[in-house]
């Protein structure tokens, strides 16, 4: 049971850890520019997640369909799913480049950051929005490759892109050689260039092995497949959007404490995101295997695969949580050794990290149900917990009880435990086993 999970997950874990390393490298180089720059990247990251939700929603829907059609050996539907995915990617790219720069500044201002932080963050996200089509197409192609059971090629592509990004970061941020010193904007430009190289590699592999460009014709663009993709992807995307909206509200509470608090919050999130990286990979692998097993009519094997994935991720998460807790102040000081930032960042880890042991239940089982084509129940759980519990708790702890930033941290921890517990209960009902595509 564990072997097929590892076969898919290990390469993906490697890729996700590399991406996490990229975010940490970005934060490290940007931190040389000061606390305001760290805060700007943290705020920009929240705004960009609004775009990620739409992208990942389509990717989840595409991967679920590709997986099920591959498991059922339905080659005609499989080709339609792949062609329709690329068309959806093109639409998203146009929307992001046209709407993103216009909506970016108002969105950043809503987060409550100081004016100079907003200026820095806006320069960052504008470059990403305009050049982010490279990211969109790379994500979609990699999702389809994973749905086909190939997790190694996407990992190699991501590894190459991450390496290039890390090498270009100091060049564009500090202006090495003939390149101008662009500061925070340089980090975004390095990312766009790196994703462009990754996209080129993904296109070569995908068109040679699976969908030649000559197959991208109207006959392979299916309204029915697009609708199926949306019915799976929109709830999954909405789930991520709710998660992001809650995070943005929390950022508003954190911003009341000043730039140092924002920086500490951003560093704390970057460090705890290391725990999430193997989880994304294992959850993705579980979704693929659940979809393939359901496509082949093996419902109970699908359930056992999902729970085995939860156990595997929980074991990995426990080790990482202990490592973070043991040296919390030192981890934070790597990015910003300002005493207030170190104190608040370490407090984030002490309060929030232990609750991440419940993340395997929430993340893996949610993606497993999405892999089965059932996205609405996980959406409902997320909406109830984050909007009905997390935000009210943040208000109660910070405004009513006067706990300050620590109140925000507890408003993250308690719902994390609750979400994992409820998601497990929903999964155990077995309602996800009966979805037909």
Q: What is the pLDDT of residue 241?
A: 78
Confidence of residue 314 (pLDDT cuts 50, 70, 90): very high
Average pLDDT of the residues in 176-188:
86
Confidence of residue 215 (pLDDT cuts 50, 70, 90): low
Q: Could you tell me how many residues make up the chain? A: 437
Report the alpha-carbon distance of residue 57 to residue 42 in Å, rounded: 22
Report the alpha-carbon distance of residue 175 to residue 162 in Å, rounded: 20
Which candidate, 319, 322, 346, 320, places its Cα nearest to that of 335? 346
Phi and psi at residue 378, to the nearest 5°: -60, -35
Residue 133 has pLDDT above 80, yes or no: yes
Whole-number percent of the chain with pLDDT over 90: 22
Contact between 265 and 248 under an 8 Å Cβ cutoff? The reply is: no
3-state class (DSSP) for residue 298: coil
| Rounded CA Rg of the chain | 21
- The larger pLDDT score, comparing residue 155 to residue 53, is at 155
Stated pTM of the model:
0.69
- 11-25, 200-214, 238-252, 314-328: range with highest mean pLDDT: 314-328
- The larger pLDDT score, comparing residue 36 to residue 351, is at 351
Mean pLDDT of the chain, nearest integer: 84
Only one residue has tokens 């984030």, namely 348
Report the alpha-carbon distance of residue 66 to residue 146 in Å, rounded: 9
Residue 268 has pLDDT above 80, yes or no: yes
Q: What is the pLDDT of residue 367?
A: 84
Confidence of residue 347 (pLDDT cuts 50, 70, 90): very high
Whole-number percent of the chain with pLDDT over 70: 93
Helix (H) and strand (E) counts in the chain:
16, 0
As given in the structure block, the two tokens for residue 299 are 């419902």
Report the alpha-carbon distance of residue 228 to residue 131 in Å, rounded: 29
Only one residue has tokens 């046209």, namely 98
Residue 396 has pLDDT above 90, yes or no: yes
pLDDT per residue over 67-125, tens digit each?
878 877 788 888 888 889 988 899 989 988 888 888 878 878 877 777 888 888 888 88
Q: Cα–Cα distances in Å, from 393 out to 246, 289, 406, 410, 413?
A: 11, 37, 12, 8, 10
End-to-end CA distance of the chain: 25
Contact between 232 and 65 under an 8 Å Cβ cutoff? The reply is: yes
Q: What is the pLDDT of residue 1?
A: 61
Local structure of residue 400 (DSSP, 8 states): I
Average pLDDT of the residues in 3-13:
64
Report the alpha-carbon distance of residue 243 to residue 195 in Å, rounded: 25
Backbone region of residue 222 per phi and psi (left: phi > 0; alpha: psi in -120 to 50; beta: other values): beta
Confidence of residue 286 (pLDDT cuts 50, 70, 90): confident
Q: What is the pLDDT of residue 3?
A: 63
Which candidate, 273, 294, 229, 230, places its Cα nearest to that of 82? 229
Average pLDDT of the residues in 201-229:
81
Phi and psi at residue 114, to the nearest 5°: -70, 160
pLDDT per residue over 326-343, tens digit each?
998 999 888 878 888 889
CA torsion 196-199-205-210 (nearest 10°) is -150
Residue 27 has pLDDT above 90, yes or no: no
- The larger pLDDT score, comparing residue 43 to residue 345, is at 345
- The larger pLDDT score, comparing residue 350 to residue 243, is at 350
pLDDT per residue over 218-263, tens digit each?
777 888 888 888 887 778 778 777 887 788 788 888 887 777 888 8
Helix (H), strand (E) at residue 365: helix 359-371
Residue 139 has pLDDT above 70, yes or no: yes
Residue 12 has pLDDT above 70, yes or no: no
Residue 437 has pLDDT above 90, yes or no: no
Confidence of residue 395 (pLDDT cuts 50, 70, 90): very high
Query: How is the chain split among helix, strand and coil, in percent rounded to 5?
Result: 85, 0, 15
Contact between 251 and 398 under an 8 Å Cβ cutoff? The reply is: no
Confidence of residue 198 (pLDDT cuts 50, 70, 90): very high
Confidence of residue 34 (pLDDT cuts 50, 70, 90): confident
Residue 9 has pLDDT above 70, yes or no: no
Confidence of residue 152 (pLDDT cuts 50, 70, 90): confident
Confidence of residue 16 (pLDDT cuts 50, 70, 90): low
Which candidate, 120, 116, 28, places its Cα nearest to that of 337? 28
- The larger pLDDT score, comparing residue 157 to residue 38, is at 157
The answer for residues whose C-beta is within 8 angstroms of residue 211's C-beta and 6 or more apart is: 79, 82, 83, 86
């Amino acid at each position: 049971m564990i072997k097929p999970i590892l076969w898919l997950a290990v390469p993906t874990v490697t890729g996700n850890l590399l991406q996490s390393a990229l975010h940490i490298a970005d934060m490290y180089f940007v931190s040389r520019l000061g606390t305001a720059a760290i805060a700007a990247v943290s705020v920009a990251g929240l705004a960009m997640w609004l775009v990620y939700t739409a992208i990942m929603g389509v990717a989840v829907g595409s991967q679920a369909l590709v997986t099920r059609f591959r498991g059922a050996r339905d080659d005609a539907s499989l080709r339609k799913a792949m062609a329709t995915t690329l068309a959806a990617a093109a639409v998203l790219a146009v929307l992001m480049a046209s709407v993103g720069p216009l909506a970016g500044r108002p969105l950043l201002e809503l987060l409550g950051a100081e004016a100079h932080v907003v200026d820095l963050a806006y320069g960052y996200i504008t470059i990403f929005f305009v050049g982010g089509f490279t990211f969109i197409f790379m994500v979609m192609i990699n999702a389809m490759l994973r749905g086909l059971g190939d997790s190694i090629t996407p990992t190699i592509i991501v590894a190459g892109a991450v390496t290039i990004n890390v090498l270009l970061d100091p060049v564009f941020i500090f202006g090495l050689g003939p390149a101008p010193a662009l500061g925070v904007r340089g980090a975004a430009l390095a990312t766009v260039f790196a994703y462009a190289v990754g996209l080129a590699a993904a296109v070569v592999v995908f068109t040679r092995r699976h969908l030649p460009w000559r197959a991208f014709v109207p006959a392979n663009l299916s309204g029915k497949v697009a609708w199926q993709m949306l019915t799976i992807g929109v709830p999954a995307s909405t789930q991520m959007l709710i998660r992001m909206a809650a995070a943005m509200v929390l950022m508003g509470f954190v911003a009341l404490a000043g730039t140092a608090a924002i920086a500490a919050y951003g560093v704390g999130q970057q460090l705890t995101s290391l725990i999430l990286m193997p989880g994304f990979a294992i959850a993705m692998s579980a979704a693929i295997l659940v979809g393939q097993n359901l496509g082949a009519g093996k419902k109970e094997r699908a359930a056992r695969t999902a729970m085995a994935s939860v156990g595997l991720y929980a074991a990995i998460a426990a080790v990482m949580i202990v490592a973070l807790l043991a040296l919390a102040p030192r981890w934070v000081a790597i990015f910003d050794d300002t005493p207030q930032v170190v104190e608040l960042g370490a407090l984030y880890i002490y309060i929030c990290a232990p609750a991440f042991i419940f993340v395997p239940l929430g993340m893996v089982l949610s993606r497993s149900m999405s892999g089965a084509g059932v996205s609405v129940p996980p959406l409902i759980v997320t909406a109830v917990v984050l909007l009905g519990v997390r935000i009210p708790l943040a208000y109660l702890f910070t405004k009513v009880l006067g706990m300050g930033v620590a109140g925000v941290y507890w408003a993250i921890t308690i719902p994390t435990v609750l979400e994992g517990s409820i998601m497990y209960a929903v999964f155990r009902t077995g309602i996800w086993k009966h979805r037909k595509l």
